[in-house]
């Protein structure tokens, strides 16, 4: 299974949320066509192995296999249907696995899911950064940085790289870091497991399929004095880059960025700088002077006596609402460019009862997955991916503005959720939240 199955599990949870599972009926047909999306090629499409992954709720129940015919068509019969059932079709081609759209098996007896495959390339010229966000806060003797990078493979070939960085794994997308970056954390275990540290930062080891994918990471930059030069290499041509800085009393400048004033987000004031059309192979240098005062978030923690330790929630958790807003770009970027400051868009509010019900559902789903795995009812790969998906959904809920308000009123529930998969260890590279001890070790 591949990283896209994580998305399917999340999609399945959304599809079946609030529904009771109905009795299974085995009468549906799933069929489709394998299509080569690379222009100017006409490879043979017969004999390709097709897998059909069947989910009930957010649990992988069955995997079926078939072969394509001479035209690249495939067909599965006797597919289960009913409330809570979903499926995804997967095809492996040239060493890369591709998936079709998720299928809702609640209704219907004849369902289609075409799968687009691509030829591969070792040339990365088609990789572009559509937008990049750097959020910088002044911590205790360090700058704390969170990055959101939206990478786009604009070509019609899957980029597989050419340099082997670890046995049987090639370097693909590059994620460079400023010199001295430490305490690096990625947004998910799948992403962290795919990244390999290099002298310039990290490289992904997954094939980069045409289309967009996101990298969310955070790191710390030791900063003892009042001045600091943050130099970040630009690995790929970047369409738009925004820098948001919460460092009270500091002056921030960058030769190739435009100052757009001060913006308010989640009760904090951020100096906003922006740049466009940054060429690959150049460096972005941001100069800070007058450093020393902690950010508004740090000051709040110190003022309340809540200074984070290794076992407490990491500093980037307070940025979750801001990151959620940035994920809505380019709408957010457009809002930032308006002359008058505007509040960041917030999700629609839910009642406290609905929040608690959703929290309980996710906690119960994690417990069920643990029990299924320990009983030998779920294979390791499916268990790891499904559990991470549910855990990420739970973290997103808890870190939303409403979730944090609810947490303040329900301290025990908050500690219970933050404890999921967090052994307190601080590692050089880790997924946010870590891994629970009874789970299989990350590979």
DSSP 135-157: EEEE-SSEEEEEEEEEEEE-SSE
The verdict on 185 and 327 lying in the same domain is: yes
Q: Given strand 201-204, what is the order of strands in its sheet?
A: 174-176, 201-204, 195-198
The verdict on 24 and 107 lying in the same domain is: yes
The reply to whether 437 falls in a domain is: no
417 or 208, greater pLDDT: 208
The reply to whether 436 falls in a domain is: no
pLDDT of residue 323: 54
The verdict on 159 and 308 lying in the same domain is: yes
The reply to whether 443 falls in a domain is: no
The reply to whether 367 falls in a domain is: yes
The reply to whether 344 falls in a domain is: no
Kindly report the length of the chain: 443
CB 94 within 8 A of CB 34: no
Task: Please tell me the distance from the alpha carbon of residue 441 to that of residue 428, in angstroms, as a whole number.
Answer: 16
Least confident of 25-34, 112-121, 169-178: 25-34
CB 14 within 8 A of CB 362: no
Q: What is the mean pLDDT of residues 51-78?
A: 93
The reply to whether 442 falls in a domain is: no
pLDDT of residue 333: 34
The verdict on 308 and 191 lying in the same domain is: yes
The verdict on 274 and 169 lying in the same domain is: yes
Closest by CA position to 372, among listed 361, 358, 382, 357: 382
Has residue 419 got a pLDDT over 70? no
Tokens coding 153: 């493979």
Distance of CA 220 to the CA centre of its chain: 20
Q: What is the mean pLDDT of residues 51-59?
A: 89
- CATH number for the domain including 171? 2.60.40
Give per-residue pLDDT as tens, 354-380: 667 777 787 888 888 878 888 888 888
Q: What is the mean pLDDT of residues 409-425?
A: 41
3-state helix, strand, coil in the chain (%, to 5): 25, 40, 40
pLDDT of residue 345: 32
Is the Cα dihedral 407, 410, 412, 413 positive or negative? negative
Has residue 226 got a pLDDT over 50? yes
pLDDT of residue 252: 93
Last residue of a domain, one of 94, 117, 140: 117
Question: What is the rounded average pLDDT for all residues in the chain?
Answer: 76
Has residue 242 got a pLDDT over 50? yes
Give per-residue pLDDT as tens, 302-336: 444 433 333 344 444 455 555 555 544 433 333 33
The verdict on 178 and 275 lying in the same domain is: yes
Domain total in the chain: 3
- CATH number for the domain including 23? 2.60.40.10
Last residue of a domain, one of 289, 305, 336: 336
What is the value of pTM for the model shown? 0.66
Q: Which residues contact 116 (CB under 8 A, 6 or more apart)?
A: 34, 35, 36, 37, 98
pLDDT of residue 296: 54
The reply to whether 220 falls in a domain is: yes
Question: Is the bond leading into 98 cis (omega within 30 degrees of zero)?
Answer: no
Structural domain for 397, as ranges:
352-431
């Amino acid at each position: 299974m591949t990283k896209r199955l994580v998305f399917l599990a999340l999609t399945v949870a959304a599809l079946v949320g609030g529904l009771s599972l109905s009795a299974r009926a085995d009468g549906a047909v799933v069929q489709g066509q394998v299509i080569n999306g690379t222009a100017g090629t006409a490879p043979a499409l017969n004999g390709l192995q097709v897998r059909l992954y069947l989910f009930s709720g957010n649990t992988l129940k069955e995997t079926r296999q078939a072969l394509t015919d001479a035209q690249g068509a495939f067909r599965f019969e006797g597919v289960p249907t009913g409330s809570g059932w979903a499926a995804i079709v997967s095809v492996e081609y040239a060493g890369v696995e591709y998936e079709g759209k998720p299928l809702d098996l609640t209704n219907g007896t004849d369902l289609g899911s075409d799968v687009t495959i691509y030829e591969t390339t070792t040339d990365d010229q088609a990789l572009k950064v559509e937008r990049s966000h750097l959020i910088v806060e002044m911590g205790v003797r360090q700058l704390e940085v969170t990055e959101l990078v939206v990478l786009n493979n604009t070509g019609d070939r899957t980029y597989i790289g050419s340099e082997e960085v670890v046995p049987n794994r090639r370097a693909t997308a590059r994620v460079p870091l400023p010199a001295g970056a430490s305490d690096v954390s990625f947004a998910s275990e799948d992403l962290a497991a795919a990244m390999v540290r290099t002298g310039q930062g990290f490289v992904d080891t997954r094939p980069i399929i045409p289309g967009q994918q996101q990298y969310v990471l955070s790191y710390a930059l030791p900063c003892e004095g009042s001045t600091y030069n943050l130099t970040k290499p630009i690995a790929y041509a970047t369409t738009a880059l925004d820098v948001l800085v919460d460092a009270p009393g500091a002056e921030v400048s960058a030769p190739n960025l435009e100052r757009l004033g001060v913006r308010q987000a989640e009760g904090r004031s951020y100096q906003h700088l922006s740049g466009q059309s940054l060429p690959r192979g150049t460096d972005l240098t941001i100069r800070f002077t007058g450093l020393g005062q902690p950010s508004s978030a740090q000051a709040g923690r110190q003022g309340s006596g809540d200074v984070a330790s290794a076992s407490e929630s990491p500093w980037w958790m307070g940025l979750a609402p801001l990151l959620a807003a940035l994920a809505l770009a380019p709408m957010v970027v457009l809002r930032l460019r308006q002359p008058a400051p505007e509040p960041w868009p917030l999700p629609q509010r839910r009642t406290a009862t609905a929040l608690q019900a959703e929290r309980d559902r996710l906690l119960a789903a994690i417990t069920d997955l643990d029990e299924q795995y320990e009983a030998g009812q779920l294979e390791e790969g499916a268990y790891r991916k499904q559990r991470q998906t549910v855990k990420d959904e739970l973290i997103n809920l808890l870190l939303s503005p409403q979730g944090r308000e609810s947490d303040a009123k329900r301290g025990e529930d908050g500690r219970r959720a933050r404890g999921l998969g967090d052994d307190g260890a601080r590692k050089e590279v880790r997924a946010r939240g870590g891994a629970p001890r009874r789970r299989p070790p990350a590979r």
